[in-house]
């Protein structure tokens, strides 16, 4: 438990060399790892084709039944910036009024770019009581034309920035559902414990901050502080993102780890509960990921306050995940089917696929609570619905084996 008397930034523990933590042997375990499924928000926001509310709600419903405990559900941004998130009010209404069945409570996360975004979320949430909102997942006469929220006031649209946006026998294939059983917390069919969480964001480079939010890093942190203050007054958990931590489309791959640590510490000090350090461009490599994590530790940032978010642009996401595991990180973002990208980072491909991440973690002896077979089926389904290639190699392999 974190000491309240010692400031976070000065809790720097002496470095102690340890042996390697992971092995393919079933006798060595990686422990409990938390998966944050970002497909319905970060995954869908960059899609070119229009996505109906019905499909979004069905995606969330299916994901809720896989065992994942954290799902990014939407984004309270002006529709002109991210059209795919225009019906996030409807998503929030539905999840509060008619939460999908799940084996345990789920935290649903919504990105808010500024104070107005959070105010809109709170106003919506305050008006919803469980079971009173219309069930928008049910078929209607025109189910593909479900209502979307009215446009934001003109002054908000003009001022609001766009958002940021992952055995002993080495030849023996691990079970598809290995790691599903969570030894820490028993499953429950109740949805009464569901929580609503928000996420905020800033960047590790000035150029990306300007392009993404039209302000400096310092100004974006000021905005974040306003949001955190209001959220904490309502007992809402806050998640932070630090974009382009391992490479920037404008400033290149050599982002200073000390800058990432400074921004991360600033978010934690203002009250953010967890910071997801994001390789938005997918430029990260194992050595630079390791150096970044060492710098964060040296700055007094605790592993339990961090998550890692990798894009797979250069095929390095899972390598970087293992580096994070060996450093002690136990929370990772991912997107079913490898959905995703970044509107402000040209060439960046999707997040690391949840199916690939879960398969990798289970092969290392980790437990995630996530059923990789169900996740693979969802990845195939949503890829078909979107008319895109399924980017999960493990997902496709799992499905192929299930068909034989």
Report the catalytic residues: 342
Overall size of the chain counted in residues: 404
Tally of CB atoms within 10 A around 363: 19
d(Cα 152, Cα 297) in Å, to the nearest integer?
Answer: 41
Q: How many CB atoms lie within 10 A of CB 14?
A: 4
In contact, 301 and 3? CB cutoff 8 Å: no
CA gap 71, 196 in Å, rounded: 10
Question: Residue 205 in contact with residue 251, Cβ under 8 Å?
Answer: yes
Can you say how many angstroms the Cα of residue 217 is from the centroid of all Cα atoms in its chain? Answer: 21
**Using CA of residue 233, residue 235, residue 236, residue 239, what is the dihedral sign?**
positive
Alpha carbon distance 136, 97 (integer Å): 10
Distance, CA of 24 to CA of 44 (rounded, Å):
34
The SS3 call for residue 277 is strand
Among 37, 131, 52, 121, residue whose Cα is nearest residue 84:
52
Structure tokens at 96: 């509060």
């Amino acid at each position: 438990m974190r000491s309240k008397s010692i400031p976070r930034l000065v809790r720097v523990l002496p470095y102690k060399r340890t042996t390697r933590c992971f092995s393919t042997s079933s006798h060595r375990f990686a422990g409990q790892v938390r998966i944050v499924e970002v497909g319905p928000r970060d995954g869908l926001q960059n899609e070119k084709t229009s996505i109906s509310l019905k499909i979004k709600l069905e995606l969330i419903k299916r994901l809720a039944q896989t065992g994942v405990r954290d799902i990014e559900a939407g984004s309270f941004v002006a529709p002109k910036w991210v059209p795919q998130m225009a019906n996030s009010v409807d998503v929030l209404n539905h999840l509060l009024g008619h939460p999908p069945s799940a084996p345990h409570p789920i935290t649903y996360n919504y990105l808010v770019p500024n104070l107005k975004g959070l105010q809109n979320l709170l106003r919506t949430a305050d008006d919803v009581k469980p079971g009173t909102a219309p069930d928008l997942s049910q078929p209607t006469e025109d189910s593909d034309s479900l209502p979307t929220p009215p446009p934001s006031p003109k002054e908000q649209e003009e001022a609001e920035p766009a958002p940021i946006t992952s055995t002993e026998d080495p030849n023996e294939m691990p079970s598809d559902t290995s790691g599903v059983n969570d030894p820490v917390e028993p499953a429950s069919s109740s949805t009464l414990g569901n929580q609503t969480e928000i996420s905020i964001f800033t960047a590790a480079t000035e150029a990306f901050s300007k392009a993404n939010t039209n302000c400096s890093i310092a100004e974006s942190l000021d905005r974040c502080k306003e949001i955190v203050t209001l959220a904490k007054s309502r007992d809402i958990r806050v998640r932070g993102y630090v974009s382009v931590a391992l490479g920037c489309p404008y400033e290149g791959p050599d982002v200073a780890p000390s800058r990432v640590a400074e921004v991360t510490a600033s978010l934690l000090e203002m009250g953010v509960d967890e910071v997801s350090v994001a390789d938005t461009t997918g430029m990260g490599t194992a050595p630079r990921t390791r150096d970044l994590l060492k710098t964060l530790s040296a700055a007094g940032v605790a592993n339990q306050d961090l998550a890692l978010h990798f894009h797979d642009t250069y095929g390095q996401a899972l390598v970087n995940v293992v580096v994070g595991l060996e450093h002690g990180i136990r929370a990772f973002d991912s997107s079913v089917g490898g959905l995703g990208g970044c509107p402000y980072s040209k060439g960046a491909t999707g997040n690391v696929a949840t199916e690939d991440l879960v398969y990798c973690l289970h092969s290392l002896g980790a437990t995630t609570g996530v059923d990789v077979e169900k996740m693979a089926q969802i990845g195939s389904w949503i890829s078909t619905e979107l008319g895109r290639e399924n980017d999960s190699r493990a997902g496709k392999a799992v499905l192929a084996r299930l068909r034989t």
